[in-house]
Copies of this chain bind each other. A is one copy, B any other.
Amino acid sequence: MNTRIASDAERDVAASDDLLALENQVCFALAVAARGVIGLYRPILEPLGLTHPQYLVMLALWQRSPRTVRDLGSALQLEPATLSPLLKRLEAQGYLTRERSTRDERALDVSLTDAGRALRAQALEIPPQVVDRLGMSLDELGSLRDRLTEVIAAVQHTA
């Protein structure tokens, strides 16, 4: 993966004026950046037995537990259909339990197990590792996060 994303622009001299040029598409830059950064997590999360989406679920549960599937979906901007098998696999790994809520039998209470709670200590080492590998400053990353948060707000404003 040593080909830079600009390499095609160098070959297509008119690309900067082309509405449909790949490198002019924010959606493309978002997709590639997201995939790239998530890819950095993969080897780091592997020893913990987590995929990146599972890591995000754990982050949400470390913040607050128990939570319903609906609540997790809202926090993570994911559909219940995505979360259902994902949570099932995390339950199978012993990190969480899913129990029918006593307040509303349609809902599940997703709770951390002791193993799930204990995993947080290892997870604390992850962000610094990723930041280190990325080689971007905390200011840059913070600023980027703020910009992305604005994009997310704009998208949600269209609904």
A-side residues, CB < 8 A to B, are 1-8, 11-12, 15, 18-41, 52, 56, 59-60, 62-64, 74-77, 120, 123-124, 127, 130, 133-136, 141, 144-145, 147-159
Q: How many copies does the complex hold?
A: 2
Candidates B33, B59, B77; contact of A30 at CB < 8 Å: B33
CB distance from A144 to the nearest CB of B (A): 6
Q: Are A33 and B134 in contact (CB under 8 A)?
A: no
A26 adjacent to B141 (CB under 8 Å):
yes
A148 neighbours in B (Cβ, 8 Å): 26, 29-30, 32-33
Which B residues touch A23, using CB under 8 A? 145, 149
Q: Are A29 and B127 in contact (CB under 8 A)?
A: no
